[in-house]
A and B are shown apart, each in its own frame.
Chain A
Amino acid sequence: MSKDSRTWTIERAIPSERGAGRRVLEELLNRFETENWTPRDLFGIRLALEEAIVNAIMHGNRLDRSKQVHVVCKSSAEKVWIKISDEGSGFNPADVPDCTDPDRLAVPSGRGIMLMRNYMTRVEYNLAGNVVVMEKSRPAGS
């Protein structure tokens, strides 16, 4: 029995600089674009990956090139599973205020995590707050 083409794993360790983040993002998206995700799914996966990788590089490792960001992406017939880890001190996602609170609508930052949660099926952080795991279920019948 041949292996399902949707079953694959990509693991990358990148320095904390934006160009490296962009390259791993594009590598993953190029792979997803060969599969039968809907355009809205692809848009959402791109957005969630973008936000998570930028958070790890900028807020986690604070652009310290001596620290790495680890990206693991495991794809299966049912879903895609993505883990992004940084070497920073982490944060508590519960401390991030609700950006849709009317009093905070005009605050320029703090929307990335909300977007990740909206577009992915599951988004969870570890206790330290420096590892995020995101999952996206494949469309029914794909």
Chain B
Amino acid sequence: MAVHRRLQLSQVGEVCVVRFVDRKILDEANIQELGQELFQLIEDEDRKNLLLNFSSVEFLSSAALGKLITLDKKVKAHGGKLKLSNIRPEIYEVFAITKLNKLFDIKDDEADALASF
């Protein structure tokens, strides 16, 4: 089993629920590590459906958005689904400004997101 330093995982049915350890996802080294850990879930651990719960995240930069986009492509390539939930308004605005709210399937909360898989 891979070690996840930046993620907290729980399995709910066929969905892997991911929470973030870091409140601010911006340091370049952390973002690289975070990206690798997320990609491992798909590529090495063969998980298909991911729900990213952002409840603990207070800040993220454009570099983190890039990792999420790459993750979305990997999930789709493996026939899975990626959903995001519990995004606080300040961060949702970042998704809205960049129109990534159209690319990602964003739900208000974890229950909504789980029900939509």
Contacts and interface: CB of A to CB of B under 8 A. Distances in A.
A and B associate in one complex: yes
B90 A112 contact: no
B98 interface: yes
Interface size class of A (residues with CB under 8 A): 20 to 34
Interface string A20-39: 00100000000000000001
Contacts of B94: 47, 115
Interface string B95-114: 00111101100000000000
Interface residues of B, number: 23
Given A18-B27, A108-B69, A54 B98 contact: no
Contacts of A108: 65-67, 69-70
11 contacts: A40-B90, A47-B61, A51-B61, A51-B62, A54-B28, A105-B103, A106-B69, A106-B73, A106-B103, A108-B65, A115-B97
B96 to A, nearest CB: 10
